[in-house]
Structure 1
Amino acid sequence: MDDYPQIRHHGGDEGVTGSCHRLQLAEDRALLVDCGLFQGQDADADSSFEQHQVAFSVDDVLALLVTHVHIDHIGRLPYLLAAGYRGPIVCSVPSATLLPLVIEDALRIGFTRDKRLIERFLDEVDERLVALAYNTWHSLVDDDRHRLKVRLQRAGHILGSAYIEVDSLDRASGKQQRTLFSGDLGAPYTPLLPAPKPPYGCDVLVLESTYGDRTHEQRRTRRARLKAAIEGALENGGTVIIPAFSIGRTQELLYELEGLTHAAKDSRWRELEIIIDSPLAARFNKLYRELKPYWDAEAHRLVRGGRHPLSFDNLTTVEGHDTHERTVAYLASSGRPAVVIAASGMASGGRVVNYLEQMLGDPRHAVLFVGYQAPGTLGNDIRRYGPQGGWVEIGGRRIDIRARVESLTGYSAHADQHDLLNFIRRMSKPPREIRLVHGDAHAKTALKAEIDAWAQQVGHHVEVIANADPSQADRE
């Protein structure tokens, strides 16, 4: 007789993207947690369409639980529905507002630009969305076989992000288990968002490990380095190019830049153009402002004091493609200092690539990475080879990297090793099993060693699985 619940993986177990995890409650009942796209080194460039197809069974899936709306966590939603999934899409209230915009953008890029088809798909998604308040148990199933409840808690990664607790009872066996899926946990002191608080406890923890092998800079340090990078642009008459995802990182950067501008004594800061060159990011900014009740206490104090951290005088948004091309050409040649925030965050596509193509070869400019750069992406190549005076290929053309290249790890939206350990050890009832996902092999190995050392020190028995058992991984 099979021992349930079981955890299986359809992505995110062997890399940093494509998160998709199955909690099998019985042979004919399961939950799915996230369903994301593979990106960077995790993606198969030769058969991307085939890789993203949902070949696993969806007939037994009772619900899709969404931790947050980044594309590597929900980007396979169109494929999931195409495979026949007809159940609810459960997420937080802010995520229910943001998700349709993310999926609309994904459809336009990867599927179709047919407005009618997109609207029809979005209508179907809207019908399935179930928005849950934080810190409230919600019953999914309560019958003669199972009692199944879920609760969403703030994860501090992006607005609406959640870690998900699943409380399951098998009435036949009497077995009860609490399984926690971390999604992506945020770092403390992230602008706009309250830090995640660990729960009382769980039996099984599926934990992200993106930065399981390192610690981030402190907020004061990262702000000082961000300020120094921009002051370099003021002196050189150059542009600071910041590749950033449209949701989450862009808003955090704007928050910090508004604070630096407000506090600056140098009048040049008031004249410095801060440019968002992403129509999608502009739309997310609007939604972030509408979701102000979910901001943290610090942000609310700024608003009460008359500050507007996502909308200030020297902030400009570039909308149309023609304006974008003119902006790139102007900044590349004019010598006017500017900060440009543009997607994508790993420079794997989007408008930021045009800035990089025009400016990487000019020492007046700088590229500032503020988030994870997956192996196999242009961002990772620039971060790796730029400080050595290397080169990259963009659009079939070799470009020598003469622009300054810097990385600020403190602006990562992910918890670091110290934060991940605290999430575990601050539970009153720590888990007996931890499955590390959403990280490369080195990060998982390093985090496992730290967890094992802590468990031995406090006398707590825990099994840490750093690499999924191939028999439990379903990556068809």
Structure 2
Amino acid sequence: MATLQFLGGVGEVTGSRYLLEYESDQGAHAILLECGLRQGGPDAERINTESLTALAEKISAVVISHGHLDHAGLLPKLVHDGFGGPIHCAGDTLDLLEIMLADAAFVMAKDIEWKNKWRGKSGKPLLEPPYLAEDVEHTLAQCRPHPYGEPVDLPGGATLVFRDAGHILGSAIVEIVVNSGGRRRHLVFSGDLGNDDSALMNDPEKLPGADAVLMESTYGNRNHRPMDETVEEFAQVLQDAYDAGGNVLIPAFAVGRTQEVLYHLSQLYHAGRLPQQLIFLDSPMAIRVTELYVRKHRSLNKEDITALNKLAQGDPSRYLPGLRATRTVEESMAINRIRSGAIIIAGSGMCNGGRILHHLRYNLAKSATHVVIVGFQAAGTLGRQLVDGARSVKVLGEELPVKAKIHTIGGFSAHAGQAQLLSWAGAFRGRPTFYLVHGEPEAREALQIALAEAGIDAATPDYGERIVL
């Protein structure tokens, strides 16, 4: 018998984690699918520091769909707590993990250091980060990258294949076939499916068959605007901000979204439609990831990557004049002396940390400021508060009035919208059982209804629930 237990990423868009257990002639086996960091909400810190020792002892392998922290950010914690087996991922994911996990360890260590200063003064016990830089090194050494389409042997005669999910560099749809009840059971996990309108990524592969399908539902309740309309909306926001004499702040998702935004800024510039003369990429991680995209772009099949090609040729002025990559803290601080006419792309994407907080602190109370939200904002994050229309928010311990104009431009999303999810699900022959994960309750329920109308049955599992494949 093969079972799947939902240990995270149900009813929310962070902390993905699913436990696959099955038997073979060699005995019982357990594989962990995803090991994501919890982001946002009051319980995130507690959940991220909970012991994973029992899980580490139980599993023999880990399979990761892609390098975003909500899917892979707790891998070093799992390794720290005793897991020493292989971590399987698709091709370029390992390159991303080298950047993402090291940055996460650094940021968490700094955050804990700041908190411990206050806790020490008040006599409270000191906190420890979920993992350290040395845990990241051990984790990377255990990673096993594989090309799309290549069968990989797993314990107990199971097999694994990665397919292109079109979400970010190295993102994958996961296929696992295991023995169960005397027959082979075929499990497909969508990972995060990409937006077909992406300028830089391939469309997600569609698969013909499965027994069970684990499908994300991040945007299960809505569709994105077409890309041409999205770019027009973006261009108008930039012009309005310039005319008002304010800055534009774009919270940066370092992987995928930042590179798409830079691409479209370049396209607007070359069309003579970009009024701003200063564009700051103020995220060391996003800078490194952009450089990685440039090195890896030849593995993409889409032809429309002119902007990245120009950057790869070593001449940034041909790519996006005015672009400044600010790596140091001093360079970042200097940006806040600029009162108007700048576009500032800074991490983190959900405004729950990073340099964007300092730029919000200096600009959020100004009515001429325009904040452009280009990605999903999880419940409990500062970004979600802004999207939901908060009149005031706390930034770096200071309560600030929100006088800036907040814009949500969903068309730049790296996730599939509802219609694209339905199209992907409808490609399966037969009637596989669908389980909707990685989506907030209203999004999951809306997608469940839409799938039912298309003749596809889908369940919305609860945390801790176990199903039989």
Asked if Structure 1 and Structure 2 have the same fold, meaning a TM-score greater than 0.5 normalized by the shorter chain, the answer is yes
Residue 368 of structure 1 corresponds to which residue in structure 2? 372
Which of residues 216, 220, 229 in structure 2 aligns to 1:212?
220
SS in 1 for 2:434: strand
Residue 239 of structure 1 corresponds to which residue in structure 2? 247
**Distance in structure 1 (CA, Å) of the matches to 2:44 and 2:158:** 39
SS in 2 for 1:257: helix
1:93 Cα deviation (Å)?
1.2
Look up the equivalent residue of 2:349 and give its one-letter code: G
| Contact 1:90 1:131 survives alignment (8 Å) | yes
After superposing the two structures, state which structure 1 stretch, 462-471 or 85-94, moved more: 462-471
- Render the CA deviation track for 1:317-363: whole Å, top value 9, x for unaligned: 111112211112x12x3x3x111111111111110011111111111
Look up the equivalent residue of 1:352 and give its one-letter code: I
1:189 aligns with 2:219: no
1:422 Cα deviation (Å)?
0.6
Matches within 5 A, 1:39-188: 39-41=39-41, 44=43, 47-50=46-49, 52-54=50-52, 56-111=54-109, 120-141=134-155, 146-170=156-180, 173-188=181-196
Matches within 5 A, 1:397-476: 397-427=398-428, 429-455=429-455, 463-468=457-462, 470-472=464-466
- Render the CA deviation track for 1:131-159: whole Å, top value 9, x for unaligned: 11012222224xxxx42111111111111
1:280 aligns with 2:285: yes
Look up the equivalent residue of 2:142 and give its one-letter code: R
**Distance in structure 1 (CA, Å) of the matches to 2:83 and 2:45:** 27
1:381 Cα deviation (Å)?
0.9
1:472 Cα deviation (Å)?
2.5
- Render the CA deviation track for 1:1-27: whole Å, top value 9, x for unaligned: xxx211102211231100011111137
1:312 Cα deviation (Å)?
3.1
Change in Cα spacing, 1:203 to 1:47, as seen in structure 2 (3 Å) is same
What TM-score comes out, normalization by structure 2 length?
0.88
1:357 aligns with 2:361: yes
Residue 381 of structure 1 corresponds to which residue in structure 2? 385
When the two chains are superposed, the root-mean-square deviation of aligned CA atoms in Å is 2.4
- Render the CA deviation track for 1:166-215: whole Å, top value 9, x for unaligned: 11235xx4211110111111110212101102111111001111111111
| Contact 2:6 2:464 survives alignment (8 Å) | no
| Contact 1:233 1:338 survives alignment (8 Å) | no
Change in Cα spacing, 1:304 to 1:69, as seen in structure 2 (3 Å) is closer
SS in 1 for 2:388: helix
| Contact 1:96 1:129 survives alignment (8 Å) | yes
After superposing the two structures, state which structure 1 stretch, 174-183 or 397-406, moved more: 397-406
- Render the CA deviation track for 1:90-138: whole Å, top value 9, x for unaligned: 111111111111111111122489xxx9664344223211111012222
1:231 Cα deviation (Å)?
1.0
Change in Cα spacing, 1:301 to 1:233, as seen in structure 2 (3 Å) is closer
Change in Cα spacing, 1:247 to 1:288, as seen in structure 2 (3 Å) is same
1:366 Cα deviation (Å)?
0.4
Look up the equivalent residue of 1:421 and give its one-letter code: L
1:447 Cα deviation (Å)?
0.8
1:374 Cα deviation (Å)?
1.2
SS in 2 for 1:362: coil
SS in 2 for 1:419: helix
**Distance in structure 2 (CA, Å) of the matches to 1:14 and 1:305:** 42
What TM-score comes out, normalization by structure 1 length?
0.87
Change in Cα spacing, 1:260 to 1:296, as seen in structure 2 (3 Å) is farther
**Distance in structure 2 (CA, Å) of the matches to 1:24 and 1:204:** 14
1:448 Cα deviation (Å)?
0.8
SS in 2 for 1:28: strand
Change in Cα spacing, 1:302 to 1:365, as seen in structure 2 (3 Å) is closer
| Contact 1:205 1:431 survives alignment (8 Å) | no
Look up the equivalent residue of 2:409 and give its one-letter code: L
Change in Cα spacing, 1:120 to 1:82, as seen in structure 2 (3 Å) is closer
Residue 125 of structure 2 corresponds to which residue in structure 1? none
Change in Cα spacing, 1:273 to 1:206, as seen in structure 2 (3 Å) is same
1:417 Cα deviation (Å)?
1.1
| Contact 2:89 2:146 survives alignment (8 Å) | yes
| Contact 2:109 2:132 survives alignment (8 Å) | no
Residue 458 of structure 1 corresponds to which residue in structure 2? none
**Distance in structure 1 (CA, Å) of the matches to 2:141 and 2:44:** 33
**Distance in structure 2 (CA, Å) of the matches to 1:215 and 1:367:** 22
**Distance in structure 1 (CA, Å) of the matches to 2:425 and 2:386:** 35
- Render the CA deviation track for 1:368-427: whole Å, top value 9, x for unaligned: 1011111211111111125xxx22222333222111111101111111111111111122
- Render the CA deviation track for 1:231-277: whole Å, top value 9, x for unaligned: 1122122111000211111111111111111112x5x64x6211100
SS in 1 for 2:55: coil
| Contact 1:193 1:294 survives alignment (8 Å) | no
Segments of structure 2 that go 5 or more residues without pairing to the other structure are: 114-130
Residue 128 of structure 2 corresponds to which residue in structure 1? none
Which of residues 13, 19, 23 in structure 2 aligns to 1:22?
19
1:35 aligns with 2:41: no
| Contact 1:148 1:167 survives alignment (8 Å) | yes
